[in-house]
Structure 1
Amino acid sequence: MSEVIRVNKFNTKTGVAYESLKRDIADGKYRPGEKLTISQISKELHISDIPVREALNRLESEGLVENTPHVGYKVTHPEFDKFIEVFEVRQLLEGQAAALAAKNIAPEALQEMARLLDFMGETTRQNDMDALTKLNYQFHHIIYSSCGNGVLTRLIEQVWAIYPRTRSIFIMIPERAFSVLPEHEEIYKALKNGDAERAREALLRHKQRSYDLLVNYEQNLEVAN
């Protein structure tokens, strides 16, 4: 959130603060239990306190932050049951999207995926988990936006928003970065070959491995809190 986000007539200041905070929570900049200071956020976004407070109230209604009297706002520790439910839905939606993408993906999208794979390898070697998180999101977004079904793509985006912290797996569990590249390459090869079932299976294996690590991480969080 270090960059200044410009506000124009299409973006209210509250909307800007909301999107910025939600992205930062998803990307792992703000960890579960971390306090969110309105004055500091306002300063970073170059806006007043009021829209930041309104954005935090909206995030509270979505369960991403909580507000304690005389303490303030902090990032919530999401309910573990919700994490499991979200994962089950994601498996269904994203597996189907990968299968459809194998039949619909454009050559330009495959070229972009190959480029992202190169960047992922480089950022992993540099141990840059923030950059890898963004590249990982872009890689998966290409798959889902290439499925040829706009409703399915939007549903996936909506489900991601329910439990966005799964996007920051490399920040929470850095060792995951070193096993993810060959899994991404397997998905890419299946898409390139137009093999729908192989693409589905490769993506589901990839998601399951991440899920197993996240389950252990979230259970440890619950014990600690």
Structure 2
Amino acid sequence: MTSERKRKTGTRRAVLANEIAEAIRLRLFRPGEWLRQIDLEERFQATRFDVRSALDELAVRKTIEHVPNRGYRVAEIDLKTYGEILAVRVMLETAAAEAAAARIDAAAIARLDELAAHFSSAVLTGSRTEQSEINRAFHRLMYSFCGNAVLQETIWALRDRGRGSRITVWSSHEALLRSDREHHAMMAALRARDAAGLAALVAAHVAKGDPASPPVEPD
């Protein structure tokens, strides 16, 4: 196989793996649910080879798990593991936020302001899918300025892995309102280039999903 063909194969695998992970994140597939390759081929209009390659990649990421002689299913994690994932996310996302505060430009801050405003509107009238998409776009854009692609990749892999918990995102309207307030507080810290303040806000934003804490919902 030529290097160009390998590159294209790797790209197709990564794109499809991300699409399946997105479906898991949106709860189109639930924790513990078995994934039938033929169904995935039809849903994502992909070849059997590409689906199998994507599933193998997601198994490496621990978004799903491979059970020998049975197939693949969405990973299902216990509360202890979920709490450990959140603890690592706090460390990584605060580091990303702190670095981003020093690097982010005015155009990105303006775009983040727009996303924060869109989230505020979605809290009132949007669907859970829309709220989740805007929230993800907000954090992805902010962390994209951390200057470390591996750090970003690890953050999103952990976020996706955390979907293996049966904890439901934003179980109450108050949880949504809290996230909304925190987004706007983060924007104030970014505009002030307050790296330490932003890191503290992000730490609280992520850690509120700790199962050992009061039962509020993580982003």
Q: Give TM class, smaller chain.
A: 0.7 to 0.9
The question of 1:158 aligning with 2:154 is answered yes
Q: Which amino acid aligns with 1:84?
A: G
Question: Cα gap change, 1:189/1:167 in structure 2, threshold over 3 Å: closer, same or farther?
Answer: farther
Q: Indicate if the aligned counterparts of 1:129 and 1:174 stay in contact, CA closer than 8 A.
A: no
Deviations 1:56-92 (A, max 9, x none): 2332344332345675432120244443333222222
Residue in structure 1 matched with residue 91 of structure 2 by the alignment: 92
Aligned twin of 1:105: 104
Offset of residue 107 of structure 1: 0.7
Aligned to 2:32: 33
Shift of 1:43: 0.9
Cα drift, residue 27 of structure 1: 3.6
Equivalent pairs: percent with the same residue?
Answer: 24
1:136 match: 135
Which letter does structure 2 place at the counterpart of 1:155?
Answer: L
What is the identity, as a one-letter code, of the residue corresponding to 2:169?
Answer: M
The residue aligned with 2:77 is 78
- Corresponding residue number in structure 2 for 1:10: 8
Gapped runs of 5+ residues in structure 2? 1-6
Matched with 2:170 is 173
Deviations 1:34-74 (A, max 9, x none): 22121121112222323213322332344332345675432
C-alpha distance in 1 between matches for 2:52 and 2:171:
32
Secondary structure in 2 matching 1:173: coil
Q: State whether residues 86 and 159 of structure 1, in contact with CA within 8 Å, keep that contact through their aligned partners in structure 2.
A: no
Deviations 1:83-120 (A, max 9, x none): 33332222222223323333332110110011001111
User: 2:67, 2:31 → 1: CA distance?
Assistant: 15
Helix, strand or coil at the partner of 1:74: strand
Task: Give the whole-Å Cα distance in 2 for the aligned partners of 1:112 and 1:188.
Answer: 11
Contact residue 113 and residue 142 of structure 1 kept, 8 A: yes
Residue identity opposite 2:185 in structure 1:
E
Matches of 1:159 and 1:82, distance apart in 2: 16
User: What is the TM-score normalised by the length of structure 2?
Assistant: 0.78
Residues 167 and 128 (structure 1 numbering): CA distance in 2 closer, same or farther, change over 3 Å? farther
SS in 2 for 1:211: coil
Displacement after TM superposition at 1:130 (Å): 1.0
Taking a change above 3 Å as real, the CA distance of residues 172 and 182 of structure 1, as seen in their structure-2 partners, is closer
Q: How far is 1:208 from its partner?
A: 1.9
Name the count of aligned residue pairs: 207
In the alignment, which residue of structure 2 is the partner of 1:223?
none
RMSD value over aligned CA atoms? 3.1
* Contact 1:34–1:75 under 8 Å retained in 2: yes
Contact 1:137 1:167 in 2 (8 A): no
Counterpart of 2:51 in structure 1 is: 52
Supply the AA of the counterpart residue of 1:136: N
Q: Which residue in the other structure is 1:195 paired with?
A: 194
Q: Give the TM-score of the pair, scaled to structure 1.
A: 0.76
Output the CA distance in 2 between the equivalents of 1:145 and 1:18. 20
Unaligned runs of 5+ residues in structure 1 are 1-8, 219-225
Distance 2:163 2:69 in 1: 31
Contact 2:87 2:207 in 1 (8 A): no
